[in-house]
Structure 1
Amino acid sequence: MTANPPRRKTGGRQAQITIADIEREGLRIGLTNLTVNGVATALGVTPTALYRHVDGKLGLEALVGEAVLRELHIVDDPDDDVEAHLLSFARQLHTFVLEHPGLAAYLQGLFPRGEAGVRLQREAVEALGRRGYSPAGAVLMSGTVASLAINLTAAEERHRPYFEGPHQRELEKVYALLAADEVLSAAHQELPTITSEPYFRMVMTGCIRGLVAAAPPNRPVNDVLTDLGLE
């Protein structure tokens, strides 16, 4: 796809830009490297021109983040029981977030921050509603699973440079430290090598099984929260 040329000042006047222009360049730059100055430079305008359309860095993040989330559509298999559905939900979220660097950090902030986020949360509630959950129970279940999935994905994103990038030498130091400790070395030798995706699935399965056991459909939310230790 051919990139659109930046807009230039003409006749001493600031070139006109639109929200669509800002969103396009923001998506091209990506959430990880997103700045007001970067988008303004790409559009050939001053940062002041962007402030007429977005409320600073947070407003720019919301504009671009919601544009990314519009492309996320969770597939709900009606044959899945609650546990299978929540695991599928977590894995689809995990895959999408990894494919969009910076999205994990965006989701770890305020959520929802726009119509795309509201739509995703509503669809998650409706999917669990079809499995017997009240709206409040569905928010509790889907929100807990989503939060854990996003946090695990964010950690995986931070760890990637140590496994795939320029910091692999630091990883070798970690292995050396473990090998030098008699107890830890023996423990790790008994464990299989688990790559990131199976590890994610394993952790999410354990969390979801415990959550479903504590929060079956139609159980009052307050009883669930008390059972899970909320005082």
Structure 2
Amino acid sequence: MTANPPRRKTGGRQAQITVEDIEREGLRLGLPNLTVNGVATALGVSPTALYRHVDGKLGLEALVGEAVLRDLQIVDNPIDGIKAHLLSFAQQIHDFVLGHPGLAVYMQGLFPRGAAGVRLQREAVEALGRRGYGPGAALMLSGSVAALAINLSAAEERHRPYFEGSHRRELEKVYELLAGDDVLGGAQTELPEISGEAYFRMVMTACIRGLVTAAAPGRPVDDILTELGFEESRH
């Protein structure tokens, strides 16, 4: 299968492009390299041609980001209890995000920004609803777990070059710096080397245990928020 050729200007007129053309080339470039000029060049048109279909860089990011998220399908095992379900939910987000560079940063911004994001949130709420949670508590619980999973995944994505070779020497310098400190050097020797994957599961497990302890099924949202330390501002 050959790639679709870029559209060129013909007869002094701007070639016609579609939203599907923009989405295709945006996906090919990838979220980390996504620019209006880059997509326009790939399509053989001017940036102005893209502005007829997308609202600048943010609109382009939303178009491509939602196209990526359409492929994220969270599998809900009905036999999982709430803790197992939320850990699986977080793990699936983590794996998908790390498999799609730039998606974590997209999801850390405004979310949801389109139909794919809305679907993911609705399905997360419905999954918790099947486990006894009302919509508000389900949205708070699933949103908190998803936000932490996305943020941890984004950090792991940034750290990968230091652990996978290209910047390994910089990581070794950090270890040497810690080893030279009277307190931190001793503390470092007590800890095993923990992979990014293991660290993710450890932090998510701790977070989920705390959230579920506060947010038992059927408990009023106000009581859950108070238990978690929320204080509503009073004017």
TM-score relative to the length of structure 2: 0.97
Note the C-alpha offset of 1:164. Answer: 1.5
Cα deviation 1:101-122 (Å, max 9, x = unaligned): 0000000000000000000000
**Which sections of structure 2, spanning at least 5 residues, go unmatched?**
none
2:72 pairs with 1:72: yes
CA distance in 2, matches of 1:112, 1:24: 21
Question: Counterparts in 2 of 1:64-143, with a 5 A limit?
Answer: 64-143=64-143
Name 1:10's counterpart in structure 2.
10
Question: Counterparts in 2 of 1:178-193, with a 5 A limit?
Answer: 178-193=178-193
Note the C-alpha offset of 1:161. Answer: 1.3
Amino acid at match of 2:74: I
Q: How many pairs align? A: 231
CA RMSD of aligned residues (A): 0.7
Question: Counterparts in 2 of 1:171-210, with a 5 A limit?
Answer: 171-210=171-210
Shifted more, 180-189 versus 10-19: the winner is 180-189
Amino acid at match of 1:139: L
CA distance in 1, matches of 2:63, 2:56: 11
CA distance in 1, matches of 2:185, 2:74: 41
Cα deviation 1:75-112 (Å, max 9, x = unaligned): 00000000000000000000000000000000000000
Amino acid at match of 1:194: I
Structure 1 consecutive aligned stretches of length 4 or more whose deviation exceeds 4 Å: none
DSSP 3-state at the match of 1:12: coil
2:213 pairs with 1:213: yes
DSSP 3-state at the match of 2:209: helix
Cα deviation 1:2-47 (Å, max 9, x = unaligned): 2211111001000000000000000000001000000000000000
Amino acid at match of 1:202: M
2:226 pairs with 1:226: yes
CA distance in 1, matches of 2:103, 2:9: 33
Note the C-alpha offset of 1:165. Answer: 4.2
Name 2:164's counterpart in structure 1.
164
**Which sections of structure 1, spanning at least 5 residues, go unmatched?**
none
Amino acid at match of 2:204: M
Question: Counterparts in 2 of 1:142-157, with a 5 A limit?
Answer: 142-157=142-157
Name 1:43's counterpart in structure 2.
43
